[in-house]
Structure formats: C-alpha cells, structure tokens
Amino acid sequence: MAALLLAAGATLACIAPDANGQETRRRRGGAEAAKPVELTPEQVAQFTKIANDRKLNVDDLLAAAKTYMPSGRHDDYVLFSSGGQSGQVFAIGVPSMRLLRSIAVFTPESWQGYGFAGMEDPVLKGLEINGRPVNWGDTHHPALSETNGDYDGQFLFIGDKANARVGVIDLRDWETKQVVKNPLTVSDHGAAFVTPNTDYVIEGGQYATVLGYGYAPPEEYKKSYRGMVTMWKFDRTKGRIDVANSFALELPPYWQDLADAGKAVSDGFFFINSFNSEMATGGIESGKPPFEAGASKRDMDYLHIIDWKKAEAAFRAGKAKEINGFPVIMLDTSIADGILYFAPEPKSPHGVDVTPNGQYMVVAGKLDPHVTVYSIDRIKAAIAGKKFSGSDDYGVQVLDFDAVKEAQVELGLGPLHTQFDDKGYAYTSLFLDSAVARWSLGGDYAKLHQEQPWKLVHKTSVQYNIGHLCAAEGDTVSPDGNHLISMSKWSVDRFLTTGPLLPQNFQLLDIVQPGTTMPVLYDAPIGVGEPHYCQMIKADKLNSWKVYPEIGWNPHTQQLDPNAPKKGEEGVTRNGNKVLVKMTAVRSHFLPEHVEVNQGDEVTWRIVAAESAQDATHGFCIGGYNINLSLEPGEYTEFRFIADRAGTYPFYCTEFCSALHLEMMGYLHVKPQTKTASAGPSN
Ligand code: CUK
Ligand code: CUA
C-alpha cells in the first residue's frame, strides 16, 4: 500500500504538471483550429429547449457566447481591480469575469503568506504608521505602469485612501514589494496615477489637514489647513518608489479629488479636480451647515493644472521646504514659478480624465448633469496670454473659464468618471441615473465616428449606482474599445441575498458596436470590499514568471539570495540562544523534519522551495506561532520568532501539493526552560 501511495505521489509529483500542461495546450490548440460552427437541426432544437427551459432569450444566448471561456482557454484581458476596504487587489479575467487572484497589499493575507512570516516580514513592517501596525487599507485607484503612455505590464500601484499610502506590486510575481506612507497627510484620495513613462506616481490628497500631522482647530482652517499632492519618484530598475527623490506640492485646503496625468500634447502636466473650495468646516452638531451642504454652495470649484516638469525643476533647484522631513514646494513658489494654475469647474465635480491623444481633460459634474471638456491648447494659450479671471484666496491665478473650455456635454444625473475607446467615443458613469453614457468626442476624434461632436449618443442602464467604469486599455494612448466594466455599487435584486451585506456588482458591457448598441453581458458579484477603480490590460502584455528564475530566489530583493539553503546544507545550528534552521521543501517532505529548540530561543528559519515545476507550491505553517508562508517554486523565505511557548508543534505544508501532502510535515520541539514547567497551551 505504501509503495502504491509512493508511486502515486511520484506520479503526481513528476509527471502530472507536464501532462496537464500538454493536455491544456492540446485543448487550446484544438479550440483555435476548430472548424466554423454549423449547427445541425438537432442542435438548434437542443439550444432552443435549453433556452426555453432556463427562460433565456436570444440576447442572453449571445451574451453567454461572448463571455463563456471553454475549460483551458485563457481570457483576453486582465482587470486589476481595487479591493476597497479589503486592502487587496483582485485580478479578474475578461471577458469571462473569472477571479484569477487576489493580491494582498495593505491587508496581510494568509494564503499568500504575506504578513505571517514572523517579525521580519518586510512588507508588514512597511504597514507601520508612527510605530503602530495599520494592517488594512481602503484601496481606491490602481495604476498600471506605462511606457510612452501605454500599459507596459511591469508594475501596478494602488492608493490607500484611509492612511495615505501607496503600494507597489511587481507583475513578474504579482506580489506587493513596497508600501510607502505619506508623511504629510493622514488620508488621501487621488492615488495612484502615473506619468506616461512612470517617472512619477501621483498621490493627491483629499481632506485638508495641517501638513505633517500637525494640529489646528477648525476655526483656523483657512490659515493652517492645506491640501497637497505628492510626486513619488519611481525607480524602475529597483522596482521601488525612490522616497529620497520624491517631493510634494502644498495646495490650498480645497479637497483635491482625482488626478490624471497629461500625455502626448499634454505630457508634463497633470490635472486634479477639487471640491469644497468653500472651505466649509461643517459642524452640524453646533447648528452649522453640514459638510454636504457647506461644501456644495459655490457654483464653481477649481481644476488644478500642474506643470510637473517645472515642479521637478524647482525641487531639484532646492526650492522645497521640509515638512515632517519631506520636501514640499510651497504655494508661493508654485505661483512664482508658474507651476500651478486653476480653471473653474462646475459645482463639486468628480473625476478628471485625459483623452488618449492628450488633447482634452474631461471633468464630470457630479451635481451638474454635464461633463466639462477643457483643451490643453486652450489652457496653454490662456496661460501664455494671461487670460485670468482673477485669483483665489491664496493667490493662485484662475484661468478664464470660457478661454479654456472646449465643450460641455449634457449626459444625465450624477456624472462621475470617464473612459475612452478606439472609435472616438467617451463613456461616463452616471451614479444617480444608474447608467453608462456613451458620447462623441470632437476635434481630431470627429472623423472616427458618424455622430455630431460633443453629443450624448446612448445610455445603457446598469444595476445600480455606478461609480467608476473601465474600458479595455482605457487609460492608455490607444484604448482597445471592446469591453467596458461598470463598477456598480448597489446590487439589490441582482443576486441571491447574502444577509444584509450584499456584494458589489461588476457588469461587463459590450462596446464593440458603435451607436446605440451597448448591452450588459455579464454580472460578476464581488463579495470582498467595495472596489473603486480598476484598469484592464491586454493579457499578452503581462510577462509573468511561471516559476521563480532560480531556486533560492528572494522575492523581496528579486534576486538569488546568498542565505538560501542549498540541498545538503539543511540542519539546525545554535549560537548561544540563537538558533538557525536551514530547511528545504520538496515534494513531499521538509528537511529537517525535527527541529529542537529551547524555550526562549530566538529562531531564524530559512526555507527554500526546491521546486521548478510550475504550480508546485508548498505552504509552511506553525500553528500557535502565527506563521504561514506560501513557498512558490524556487522561493526563499527567512522568518524569525522567539520560541517563548514550550510544547510540541507540528509544522506542515498548507498546499495540497502531492498525494503525500498530508505527510509533508515535521515537529518543532520547544523544550521547557525548567523541568517543572508543563508544556503546551495550558502552560
Ligand atoms: S472615487 Cu470611488 S466612485 Cu475614490 Cu475614484 Cu469616484
Ligand atoms: Cu507540500 Cu503539501
């Protein structure tokens, strides 16, 4: 029996992955080479019966045919979505809408092993704020790295609104490498957005505070509170944000909202919409107008136009002032150097999105049924010609609205965010209408479509209350224009009830046909967090590793680690009360299988997954010590802990890796300090 099991284990271990791979390839090849479908009368009858039994109409059948992925067939796109308050990022295949992976960013996640590698987990350490572990995040806006304004598939950034942090994910292994905390503000909103070559990752603020974690009472709001935007320098070779070469700009205490970088003709600028230029300070409890009223009084707020190349020059010229140890270009410098201008934007807008050619900036009305379109040519001309309508309370010059405005397009109630396709259309989410509006762009885009420029073309209802939307390659210089995701926030009546808390609803819309055809094809419930934004990249742009490049690879340094134990080096050594464990993991055993330490020892444990077959992942956990690792093929991990509780601790592999996976275990023996002490959890 044992021999049989061993044989089975060996079969699974050595042959199965290859056999699976071959099988998959064969099936895919078969599907690609398939003859054109011709339905026999019997098959038509079968379809008709199924459709009628399941109450499906022809549109439903078409939607199914457009989204169904046969087993083994890969999706065309990957959607990287914010996981909202889960602190994670989700990767979803499009058009099938299948969840491919979750990536822990601001919230440790035990399956991936992130956050459960003892005291030295580098990403976990990065979550500390002022010495306090802050192990969650409110992820909002993911941003794929770009080269020449096109997604390059190398990195993904995402902002944490609650704690003003930016996470960096390396798309070679889809793991979080770095979390940076903004030293100026407690929370943010306009993160993350990248410049067209990912020179900088933009993190805009939102709720104004006293920069650098300062204090002032609300009566001193105008004098002491400030907004900010931070330009995080990205080092592509290191795959890390280079904090030492990053800087921020002080902004008036309006609530900066979303950002978008200019591209092509507008490269060198970025744009931030804002609200609460009223500088309302709320106070409903003492009879003052609540924020929701006070911050929506004025007819106009300010689109922030920032020349980041000039800002970079000012920073390099030493013109920044340090706040909480971080360089900040103060408002007077931004005004004097022509870094910052404002353009009026109607009533508490939301979102600013730059068209693929970089020519136009679209700001959605939120409380106004229009989107307002600005042109970079007009903005540049107005700055050069000094066409100002005045300045704000802080001396920032405000460009004349009519001089910079290209068009206003009436779309419906609650416009929020805008995306683009390859046919000269823009798509705007309408929160209150619960619809996606398709409208026609003008200028150079007018020749791509048959519509009148700057006109609403069509609205498709979504269910319900859409926030962001996302088109295929929709933030690049060349969007694909076939799939669009509606990130619907309410899903009442769409799915089975899951208690009082319902999932969000990602709805897939088909935007291939121009004009008024734009059907919803698929509803995908998202039962984790309230995601805000996502970006969709062509799957073949991702060059992910199938296994780590070498056995002994350290994912934090992305290189072979000199400390990684090699086969034959396994064992336990001691130096005083410091114990070093060198371990390898290979189907289906750990070596060594017994590790003996004394209570109170400081244990450093080095473990390598000595595997090179794709998906031959092991786990490693020690119950009671809060340790769980994911050991992907080739991966090396070091973790440390104090063996402060005596007892006998089975450690085991947490991934079903072979037929003898249950046997892939061992014991950590922690010998009690004194002979009288009893071992175990009751001690
Ligand atoms: S915000 Cu969520 S719907 Cu944070 Cu991008 Cu507009
Ligand atoms: Cu290794 Cu289960």
258 C-alpha to ligand 1 centroid (Å):
8
Q: Which atom of ligand 2 is nearest to the CA of 585?
A: 1
Mutate to test the pocket of ligand 1, among 158, 188, 258 (most ligand atoms within 8 A of CB): 258
Structure confidence at residue 268 as a pLDDT band (50, 70, 90): very high
Structure confidence at residue 680 as a pLDDT band (50, 70, 90): very low
Convert the pLDDT of each residue in 139-185 to its tens digit.
999 999 999 999 999 999 999 999 999 999 999 999 999 999 999 99
Convert the pLDDT of each residue in 388-427 to its tens digit.
999 999 999 999 999 999 999 999 999 999 999 999 999 9
617 C-alpha to ligand 2 centroid (Å):
7
Asked whether 350 lines ligand 1 (CB < 6 A), one says yes
Q: What average pLDDT score do residues 28-45 get? A: 77
Convert the pLDDT of each residue in 83-118 to its tens digit.
999 999 999 999 999 999 999 999 999 999 899 987
69 C-alpha to ligand 1 centroid (Å):
30
Mutate to test the pocket of ligand 1, among 363, 416, 466 (most ligand atoms within 8 A of CB): 416
Do strands 559-560 and 132-133 pair parallel, antiparallel, or not at all (unpaired)?
unpaired
Q: Which atom of ligand 2 is nearest to the CA of 661?
A: 2
Convert the pLDDT of each residue in 528-561 to its tens digit.
999 999 999 999 999 999 999 999 999 999 999 9
Report the alpha-carbon distance of residue 239 to residue 542 in Å, rounded: 16
* Helix axes of 41-53 and 58-67: crossing angle, nearest 10 degrees: 100
For residue 173, give the DSSP letter.
T
pLDDT at 674: 77
Q: Which atom of ligand 2 is nearest to the CA of 617?
A: 1
pLDDT at 339: 98
Closest residue to atom 1 of ligand 2, CA basis: 618
Asked whether 655 lines ligand 2 (CB < 6 A), one says yes
**Counting Cβ atoms within 10 Å, is residue 91 exposed (0-12), middle (13-18) or buried (19+)?**
buried
Asked whether 653 lines ligand 2 (CB < 6 A), one says yes
Does residue 6 carry a pLDDT above 70?
A: no
**Is the CB of residue 664 less than 8 Å from the CB of residue 653?**
yes
87 C-alpha to ligand 2 centroid (Å):
28
Reading the block at residue 263, the tokens are 């591209």
Rounded CA Rg of the chain: 28
Domains of the chain: 2-66 (no CATH), 77-541 (2.130.10.10), 553-671 (2.60.40.420)
Quote the Cα angle for 110-112-116, to 5°: 45
pLDDT at 305: 98
Which has more pLDDT, 678 or 269? 269
Distances (CA, A) of 46 to 39, 42, 51, 448, 550: 10, 6, 9, 42, 52
Stretch among 19-23, 28-32, 225-229, 289-293 having the lowest mean pLDDT: 19-23
Q: What is the mean pLDDT of the chain?
A: 93
602 C-alpha to ligand 1 centroid (Å):
46
Convert the pLDDT of each residue in 282-337 to its tens digit.
999 999 999 999 888 888 999 999 999 999 999 999 999 999 999 999 999 999 99
pLDDT at 675: 58
Asked whether 378 lines ligand 1 (CB < 6 A), one says no
Q: What average pLDDT score do residues 33-55 get? A: 92
Counting ligands in written order, which one lies closest to the CA of residue 428? 1
Does residue 30 carry a pLDDT above 90?
A: no
Convert the pLDDT of each residue in 194-240 to its tens digit.
999 999 999 999 999 999 999 999 999 999 999 999 999 999 999 99
Question: At a CB cut-off of 8 Å and minimum separation 6, what does 664 contact?
Answer: 585, 587, 588, 589, 590, 618, 652, 653, 657, 658
655 C-alpha to ligand 2 centroid (Å):
5
Asked whether 661 lines ligand 2 (CB < 6 A), one says yes
Mutate to test the pocket of ligand 1, among 366, 417, 487 (most ligand atoms within 8 A of CB): 417
Asked whether 141 lines ligand 1 (CB < 6 A), one says yes
pLDDT at 232: 98
624 C-alpha to ligand 2 centroid (Å):
19
pLDDT at 348: 87
351 C-alpha to ligand 1 centroid (Å):
8
**Is the CB of residue 194 less than 8 Å from the CB of residue 157?**
yes
128 C-alpha to ligand 1 centroid (Å):
25
Closest residue to atom 3 of ligand 1, CA basis: 467
352 C-alpha to ligand 1 centroid (Å):
11
Whole-number percent of the chain with pLDDT over 70: 94
Do strands 240-251 and 227-235 pair parallel, antiparallel, or not at all (unpaired)?
antiparallel
pLDDT at 504: 97
DSSP assignment of 112-149 equals TTBT-BBTT-HHHHHTEETTEE-----EEEEEEEEETT
586 C-alpha to ligand 2 centroid (Å):
8
For residue 212, give the DSSP letter.
T
Q: Which atom of ligand 1 is nearest to the CA of 431?
A: 3
Kindly report the pTM of this predicted structure: 0.93
pLDDT at 18: 39
